[in-house]
Structure 1
Amino acid sequence: MSVQPKIGQLVPLKAKPDQGDALSQFLITGYGLLAGDQEPETLQWFALKYNTPEPNYAIFDTYAAESGRQAHISGEVAKALFANADTLLAALPDLPSTNFNLLASKIKPLAGVESDFKKGLTVGLRVLVKAKPEQIDAVREFLQGALPLVEAEPDTPVWYAIEFPGTNVFGIVDFFATQGGLDAHLKGKVAEALFANVDKLLVEAPEVITTEVLAVKI
């Protein structure tokens, strides 16, 4: 793609106990607010449902520059979300804490699915890791160096390695067309290397959550 993402947001959204379905529908509707030429600086946008016992959702989006992030924060999706927050959300997200820097990415949209609001992507992973203070640089280098391994995975079309600035928290967020693609990634070389180095690099084991893709701009 001609414009590469450099920063983004991973915004957790916890629904009120009886509002999970309503929040799902809101996020799908939010896709329509990004369609066409609206928010041209929002390069990619994913609405997700976490596969957790409680009704947890998220928005993951990327930008080439801070101007894009600020435009999105003041845009129609954010306005609608905060207008409906008292009804839908158990708590408001702390937006500054959701900001991340992109360390590496693989973005290869699937062909022939342009009209599909999921763009052919159905499932994903959200992996968060906490680096030991003395291993922050090593974890950053590990994630940046993982890109060639991911490039070699034909069933991993979309993959991001991210860092939350000013913290020791890093993440991997990726998306797949099928459960088989996700399963293959979890058995692949990146996951193998990450889990083999937990004791050396990380404070604790990675937090791995599978996700359902609700809507995508890519």
Structure 2
Amino acid sequence: MKTQILQTVAAMVLITTSATAQDNPMENHTASYIAMPAAEGQTEAFAEFLAGAAPIVRDTEPGTVLWFALQADETLAIFDIFADEAARDAHFAGAVAAALNQNADALVDGGWDDGVVANINNSDVLSVKAPVDLSTATTATYIKLEAAPGKGPELAALLTAAGPIVADTEPETLFWAALQIDETNFAIFDIFADNSGREAHFAGQVAGLLNERAAELVAGGWDDGVVANIHNFDILAAK
């Protein structure tokens, strides 16, 4: 039965792309992801800095729709969704970015230029499951995907069609976004209340579909192109 479902979904991916794009509740939104290594001995201080930034974003950045401060061991990260490119520009010109710039030499391995700016990944939002119950979220996943040669449009189509499937079949996935960085690079970001939600997601229809088509669509296939690029985080704070 599961194989039949996946085959049906796969057949529908290309023909449903335009419809799902029109139904995307974050159409024309943009995103940014920045993974930053903490300077030696500064992991706790850096985490406290990012956690304290959430109220500032909430109070001063109306165009920042979602903002997450994340931590995985000594790596800190920020993921955010913006209403449009102007809102993203406003974020990078805002109070939190300015404070991070001022403190980067102390907190970030590589400082502002090599530790922050060099790690910015800007993207367009292809498809989402709209956020629900964000106050219960404790954990997040970011996966960067490189399309196999010539397969960028097909991978984009699959990811675009996946948002409504996640929304319909994954109640424990509190937010899910498919992102396009450029013609060949893509990403998935999602959040969960706990690890059981993440496990349900990776046992779900979209993960199964991506697994079945990874050898064709993703550079490195499932193991080296998807699984090897999974980054799990604890959520420190959110807008």
- Please tell me the TM-score bracket, short chain as reference: 0.7 to 0.9
SS in 2 for 1:133: coil
User: Any idea what SS the aligned residue of 1:137 has?
Assistant: helix
Structure 2 residue aligned with 1:44: 66
- Taking structure 1 as the reference length, the TM-score comes to 0.88
SS in structure 2 at match of 1:49: strand
**Quick one: distance in 2 between partners of 1:31 and 1:10?**
15
Shift of residue 160, structure 1, vs aligned partner: 0.5
Alignment-mate amino acid for residue 94 of structure 1: V
Cross-structure match for 2:201: 185
**2:238 paired residue number:** 216
Query: Offset of 1:17 from its aligned partner?
Result: 2.6
TM superposition shift of 1:97: 4.7
1:133 Cα offset (Å): 2.4
The count of aligned residue pairs is 203
Q: Which residue of 1 aligns with 2:100?
A: 81
Root-mean-square deviation over aligned CA pairs: 1.7
Consecutive aligned runs of 4 or more in structure 1 exceeding 4 Å deviation: none
- Structure 2: unaligned runs, 5 residues or longer: 1-24
Helix, strand or coil for the counterpart of 1:94?
A: helix
**Bigger-Rg structure (1/2):** 2
Change (3 A) 1:97 1:24: closer
Q: Is the Cα–Cα contact under 8 Å of residues 35 and 119 in structure 2 kept in the other structure?
A: no
The residue aligned with 2:86 is 67
Corresponding residue for residue 57 of structure 1: 76
Is 1:159 paired with 2:182? no
Task: Kindly indicate which of the two structures has a greater share of residues assigned to helix.
Answer: 2
Between 62-71 and 89-98, the greater mean CA deviation after superposition: 89-98
The one-letter amino acid paired with 1:90 is D
Q: Is 1:129 the equivalent of 2:127?
A: no
Partner of 1:14: 37
Letter in 2 for 1:154: P
What code does the residue aligned with 1:12 have? A
In 2: Cα distance, 1:14 partner to 1:182 partner? 24
CA distance, structure 2, for counterparts of residue 213 and residue 174 of structure 1: 11
3-state secondary structure, aligned to 1:26:
helix
1:101 aligns with 2:124: yes
Aligned residue identity for 2:213: N
Matched residue SS, 2:201 = helix
Runs of at least 5 residues in structure 1 that lack an aligned partner in the other structure:
111-117
- Counterparts of 1:35 and 1:7, CA distance in 2: 18
Instruction: Name the SS for the 1:175 alignment partner.
Output: strand
